[in-house]
Amino acid sequence: MATSLDLNDDSPCSNPQQQQTETHENSSETALLGEPRGYLSGEARVERAWGHWSKLGRPKLIVAPMVDNSELPFRMLCRKYGAEAAYTPMLHSRIFSENEKYRREEFTTCKEDRPLFVQFCANDPDILLEAARRVEPYCDYVDINLGCPQRIARRGYYGAFLMDNLLLVKSLVEKLAINLNVPVSCKIRVFPKLEDTINYARMLEEAGCSLLAVHGRTRDEKDGKKIRADWKAIKAVKGALRIPVLANGNIRHMDDVKTCLEETGADGVLSAETLLENPALFAGFRTAEWVDDGEEGNKDGLLDQADLLVEYLKLCERHPVPWRMIRSHVHKMLGEWFRIHPQVREDLNAQSRLTFEFLYDMVNRLRELGVRIPLYLKEKDSHVQGAPEDGLAN
């Protein structure tokens, strides 16, 4: 069936008690502390990069930046279940600089939301710096998106399409590295030729990048389910650089985390798509898709995606975000459940205005219909860092 669009999808879910959520509405809230860090070269730059990373505890399990999907409530849910750091969704630097409503609705954080990378797309160094200065008191890195491969990035001339203009990329990194108090990080995709990728990464390091996340697919390799990320390319980048390097791609469960770290030598891993379906991935939980038939050592983890969704909704009540984000997470977490009872999905799609009451009732309805698809734990992964809160909603 055709889905009706939310009339209120761009409006934040309302909640009178928002004291723990910080919104950033004007430059007076983001007065800089101290002098800019300034550009360092050689050994001093490398030492500072590692000193900062070590101060943060060298996090290895990280929520990747996802447009409209790595917002504060979702980040907090993932942190409860083992994530050690997280990126914000990609923010558009020009709109962020110009539009107070965009800043207020698209970037929220709280004191527990650390370590935090705030990611921007940009193609103008001055505009990027203006946006970055608004968030630097509230984050641990300002990140430049150099990896988005989507058509909107082509039209807007940002993300992976800046790979065709390395002088511009260099100027973006240098502008932030010289003028910010917090370090600059970058997230990239690889070139088809490994040599080009290595040269690209070295240029970013020389320009002042303090941490590099490498997605092991090219700009044209958009389908992550059909195309495996190239961990060998990530290993080569790690071997060529002296700053911390993170690996992105092929992380579906904790076995992948272990194998990726071993094969690439990376200092941490990012997960995106799998976390949307299973925010408890980093606590060792996995969906049935990643449990081999007859494999010993797997057990029902006494947690499922409906439990996680209820926890997410409660976090949204505390930390309001636009309804379009909530709707997206409902579909991602309950996709398999909706395939069993598509009429429940159709009722959800028919709602032009969502409410928490409707969503909690929807979960209860699925339960009453007898749906439960457990998340599984391997015995060796059973050191769970989180547990369901409060059962079902009232």
Catalytic residues: 148
Residue 101 sits at φ, ψ, to 5 deg, of -60, -40
Look-up of token digits 């698809």:
373
First to last CA, the chain: 30
Residues 327 and 352: beta-carbon distance below 8 Å: no
Residues 101 and 132: beta-carbon distance below 8 Å: no
Kindly state the DSSP code that residue 163 receives in the 8-state scheme: G
Residues 217 and 197: beta-carbon distance below 8 Å: no
> How far, in Å, CA of 158 to CA of 187, rounded?
12
Residues 352 and 4: beta-carbon distance below 8 Å: yes
Radius of gyration of the chain (CA): 21
CB neighbourhood size of 317 (10 A): 14
Pick from 41, 227, 248, 267: nearest CA to 148: 248
Residues 119 and 92: beta-carbon distance below 8 Å: no
Residues 309 and 372: beta-carbon distance below 8 Å: no
Pick from 129, 47, 82: nearest CA to 275: 82
**Burial 136-165, CB ≥16 within 10 A → b, else e:** bebbbbbbbbbbbbeeebeebebbbbbbee
Q: Residues 6 or more apart from 227 whose CB is under 8 A from it?
A: 217, 221
